[in-house]
Amino acid sequence: MGSSSLTASLLLLSLVFMQFVSAADQNNVTIKAEPGDNVILTCKDPEQGKITIAEWKRTDLGSSEYVLLYKDEKNNPGAQHPSYRDRVDLLLIQIRIGDVSLILKNTTTDDSGTYECRVDTEKHVEKLISTVNLQVSPSPPPEPFPVWAKVLLVLPGLLVLALAAAGVSVYFWRRWKPGESLELHYP
């Protein structure tokens, strides 16, 4: 085997490996959201064939209940888990190019879980396209204001106050010299 064919073989092997890693990354995604957010759970068939059935399921729900079932060119709400009714949708125009990404509206902490997208096309039946781990949690409370920042906010005011006190002291010192008596006049 010549060095050029060995190089070509190694290049081909590395390309195949990179595509495998890239596809694995595309198929296992973690999405973080806060309650009330709208999120898109991606699911794109790399073969871009005509999708006849798209199933979105959550792994911890019953096997017969769907987050969304797209069949016969429409959504099937009868097979849908009640907590997802009127909160999920697909971009119907994207289905023609193999994209059945799920739009989940007004997320709640109960939506946290692992979602799987499977599709049927002319080429394959119930092929797992993507797995999405959705984590919905409230944003953490704001951190307390750091002490150093409070000092920086107060320091200019203290500096102005000290300068004003020094100015008043100098004023009275110049007006009243030691050895002279200070007379106060009251009206």
What's residue 176's pLDDT?
63
Report the alpha-carbon distance of residue 101 to residue 94 in Å, rounded. 8
CATH class (in words) of the domain with range 21-136? mainly beta
pLDDT digits (tens, 9 = 90+) for 169-183: 777 766 666 666 666
pLDDT digits (tens, 9 = 90+) for 14-26: 433 333 333 444 5
pLDDT digits (tens, 9 = 90+) for 83-102: 999 999 987 778 777 889 99
Side-chain-side CA neighbours of 81 within 13 Å: the count stands at: 19
In 42-94, the DSSP E strands lie at 51-58, 68-71, 74-75, 88-90
Report the alpha-carbon distance of residue 26 to residue 117 in Å, rounded. 12
Lowest mean per-residue pLDDT among 17-21, 51-55, 120-124, 139-143: 17-21
